[in-house]
Structure 1
Amino acid sequence: MKATKTMIVIANSGTARFLINAGPGKGLTPTGGKTLQADPPTMYADRAGEVHSRVGPGMSAVEQTDPKMLAQADFAKEVSDFLETSFEKGNFERLIVAAGPHMLGVIRDALSEKVSKVVIAEVDKDLTHLPLEDLPEHLDHVLAV
């Protein structure tokens, strides 16, 4: 019987590591050293913009965008695109996403529908700072490593 491959994404707002578990007792293996790094947030302006009214002397403020939030959404999209490509190539059948609570939500929103369907667990912890050998004890409640 063929073992089910599970992809594990360990991410925060700046880094994403991808690991594979090929079945119970097989441990975690990095996916060819693939690590994504987020681009730094781009600051566009130091204050909200203003626009002139089409009629009369009035002015209106334009809502200011949050560069950090935009950078996180862009990075989550990059992670999602990598996962979708890997899934289509048959590199995994199940997915576990581990990230801090906020970034977990951003990644969840960015995942395509077909990749979202194979998510078997979410871990709301930032584990990016841990070495590979310490990860199994933090994932043992969602995966038989």
Structure 2
Amino acid sequence: MTGVLVSDQTSARLFTINLPKAPFEELARLANPEGRLHERDIESDRPGRAFDSMGRGRHAMGTRHPATEQQEIRFAQEIATLLADHHRRDSFQRLVLCAPPKLLGLIREALPKRVAECLLLELDKDLAHLSDTDLRAHLTEHLPTIIQPQSSLSA
């Protein structure tokens, strides 16, 4: 069985497919409405201030990542947790990831090793807006690779 994750910054859908002509079966869906927000909508005010450890200087406290990037990292971790849970339940043995390039990289970084090892294909495209039918049509050229039995992968 092959899992297909389709995601963007605002949503993620996990499907399974096991036959070339079979429809995708949706296993899970995640929503991330914060993914639509802009930096100014997330940050309520300017960063706090701190004293220097030496001297009288004060400076603004910095953040390691902007709020929108922190939100993307959190959502990628949530997606990775979802994938790990379904992999543990044996919902899929192979995995295809479809997401915009930046989010795809964040998901890849967040994946546990046992899930990352079953990655079959990565598509750095935003396909989340597509209907199930359009998604299937878009992935048609990759279906032979996606569907092939586990035994032929190792050959």
The answer to whether the superposition gives a TM-score over 0.5 is: yes
**SS class of match (2:141):** coil
Q: Structure 1 residue 49: deviation in Å?
A: 3.0
Counterpart CA distance in 2 for 1:39 and 1:136 is: 25
Q: Higher helix proportion, which one?
A: 2
Give the alignment of 1:109-124 within 5 angstroms: 109-124=109-124
Counterpart CA distance in 1 for 2:143 and 2:13 is: 17
Q: Structure 1 residue 48: deviation in Å?
A: 3.2
Amino acid at match of 1:115: V
CA deviation profile, 1:69-121 (whole Å, cap 9, x unmatched):
11111111111111101101111000000011111111111111110010100
Q: Does 1:101 align with 2:101?
A: yes
Partner of 2:138: 138
1:35 pairs, out of 8, 29, 37, with: 29
Structure 1 stretch 22-31 or stretch 84-93: which is displaced more? 22-31
**Could you list the runs of 5+ residues in structure 1 that have no partner in the other structure?**
none
Counterpart CA distance in 1 for 2:73 and 2:82 is: 14
Counterpart CA distance in 2 for 1:59 and 1:21 is: 57
Counterpart CA distance in 2 for 1:54 and 1:135 is: 55
Amino acid at match of 1:54: S
RMSD of the TM alignment (CA)? Answer: 1.8
Partner of 1:92: 92
The alignment of Structure 1 onto Structure 2 pairs a total of residues equal to 139
Amino acid at match of 2:87: F
Partner of 1:56: 55
Question: Percent identical across equivalent pairs?
Answer: 28
Q: Structure 1 residue 39: deviation in Å?
A: 4.8
